[in-house]
Amino acid sequence: MSDHDISLEEARERYRIEREKRLRADANDQYHDLSGEFEEFDHDPYSPPIVREPVTEETQVVIVGGGFGGMLTGANLTKLGITDFKIIEKGGDFGGTWYWNRYPGCMCDVESYVYLPMLEETGFMPTMKYAYAPEIFEYCQLLGRHFDLYRGAMFQTEVSEMTWDDATQRWTTVTDRGDVLTSKYVVIAGGVLSKAKLPGIPGIEKFTGPKFHTSRWDYAQTGGGPYDHMEKLEDKVVGVIGTGATAVQVVPAVARSAKELFVFQRTPASVGVRNQGPTDAEWFKSLEPGWQKERIENFTMAVTGTQPEKNLVGDTWTQMLWVDTRNVPKDDEEAAFYEREDFEQMQALRDRVDEIIDDPDTAEKLKPWYGKFCKRPCFHDDYLPAFNRENVHLVDTDGKGVDQITETGVIVGGTEYPVDILVFASGFEVTTDYHHRLGFDPKGRGGVSMSESWAEGPHTLHGVLTHDFPNLMMISTVQGAFGTNFAHYLTETSKHVAELIQTCDAEGIATIEASTEAEEEWFNLLMTMVGGLAVYNASCTPGYLNGEQGEPSMKAARNSPYMGSMLNYARLLEAWRQEGSLAGAEVAKA
């Protein structure tokens, strides 16, 4: 019997087996962050050190993070006439994710016309339907110039302390360069997929050859560039650990350059059709004003459970996600429909593996046996075909992960695979404590730190304001929205934050923070939206979307994002602003 004939019951059993192989009691603790003995992995290989004197200054707004979230906050403030702000950024330029991720093949798998923010304002035409990382990075610089954001930028700078002073009603932000900034507002726009993690594989520190995380690609070791042949790999054996969305893009590029490539897999990715192609310039020119907002909303609708009348983007994301099989079914019939729908979509992806992969044994190992919302879906035209190449070898660990790393190679199932270069495509922290991901712990009213205030879990209004941290605004997934097109979320939330600052100034408000009652109401609303998630996750393999299947806890629940559609979240924020009473916020007038 081929997989094509597999029944739902058999798939259910296979999901259970694959999940159980992978469950680990240490959940998130299995990973290392890039500190202590792994600090060298955090080195910035891209920009020479910037030399400057420390700055001591008063400014109106300190924005932490120079990725799209921070940049869009700056752009929206600028549009409202507020230009007295600083943007503190760890990287050597704007870009955030797109500054750090320069690995070969790096691209955004969400359509560029809906992903790149403010295209109508900047007049920029992406060259491809799915933009490659260098173009997105250039676009970040263009946005920086367009909105004059470089003026207030402090690059290669990290916040070390952020403290509220009740007497002066000001924040003091101290950086690792000795800068001291005082400000009425702080906006934290970081910590989403910014803190890289390494797998806790025994011996990981022993490997003596070049080794790096994908978000710090070392072209000095590989030669070439994001688009180019990596000539220094021609005589090298490369090992890539991990097979998530990053590896799906890295593997085909490395396969083309390296003498040999070993891909170490714990759980196979689900990989759908990409259909990359160039932008039709005539079509782009013909778009009417307002087109981008319409297209963004149309895409978000299609990936959050409602198929729009006309699906404008029309790609595999929109075909795959328009039925949210995590919903609570209204009856047995609907439950059966959800399960079958999910199964059939995943079966189509498993069948795709058979269609593409020549060797049946390799094909078997590349099949994803889990539901479509267990792991982030991936889309690529060259990933699976890469495994048909003679120089590419899949080393499947049967769900166990790599056993050990030695000075010269990687051990799986008692066999050592010697490699010259080791690449960790092992992802980022997503569900660890917020202050840990930020790398600093803001101290609010009475000197109470966020880690103390949130010891039992986060408490916020809209994911933006939090009690006892006056005039601090957050743009993050912690109780904020989350979605396939993350730039949609950043666009809406940065606008919300900028307008909130403008309102406070216009109304003579000295401080604003969430009331504890409103925070509880917000949390209760979040809980009404988790729907059938717990039931759905119960059949999933572990991963960051389900907190690595760690023990359920109130703290984990309080870390949940808003699970409804981004469109509803945006409408809710807009209605809240328009209503005008700042309901649920505690304000004190100047």
Tell me which residues touch ligand NDP (CB under 6 A): 22, 107-110, 193, 199, 201, 241-247, 249, 264, 266-267, 376, 397, 401-402, 425-428, 543-544
Smallest separation, CB 331 to ligand NDP (Å):
33
Smallest separation, CB 220 to ligand NDP (Å):
22
Smallest separation, CB 543 to ligand NDP (Å):
5
Cα–chain center distance at 463: 16
Q: Report d(CA 239, CA 211) in Å as an integer.
A: 9
Provide the token pair at 346: 């995943």
Nearer to ligand NDP, 538 or 590 (CB): 538
Nearer to ligand NDP, 221 or 243 (CB): 243
For the chain, how are helix, strand and coil distributed in percent, rounded to 5? 40, 20, 45
* Cα–Cα nearest to 162, from 88, 67, 68: 88
Nearer to ligand NDP, 185 or 544 (CB): 544
In the chain, the amino acid numbered 51 is V
Nearer to ligand NDP, 99 or 428 (CB): 428
Neighbours of 40 (CB within 10 A): 11
Neighbours of 9 (CB within 10 A): 8
* Ordered DSSP codes for 309-346: SS-SS-SHHHHHSSS-TTSPPSSHHHHHHHHHHHHHHH
Smallest separation, CB 268 to ligand NDP (Å):
8
Smallest separation, CB 30 to ligand NDP (Å):
7
Nearer to ligand NDP, 22 or 170 (CB): 22
Smallest separation, CB 196 to ligand NDP (Å):
8
Q: Are 488 and 480 in contact (CB under 8 A)?
A: no
Nearer to ligand NDP, 363 or 405 (CB): 405
Smallest separation, CB 479 to ligand NDP (Å):
19
For strand 85-88 and strand 237-241, is the pairing parallel, antiparallel, or unpaired? unpaired
Nearer to ligand NDP, 33 or 519 (CB): 33
For strand 211-213 and strand 421-424, is the pairing parallel, antiparallel, or unpaired? parallel
Provide the token pair at 340: 């079958």
In the chain, the amino acid numbered 332 is D
Smallest separation, CB 353 to ligand NDP (Å):
16
Nearer to ligand NDP, 365 or 467 (CB): 365
Q: Where are the alpha helices (DSSP H) in 173-314?
A: 219-222, 245-257, 281-286, 291-303
Q: Are 161 and 146 in contact (CB under 8 A)?
A: no
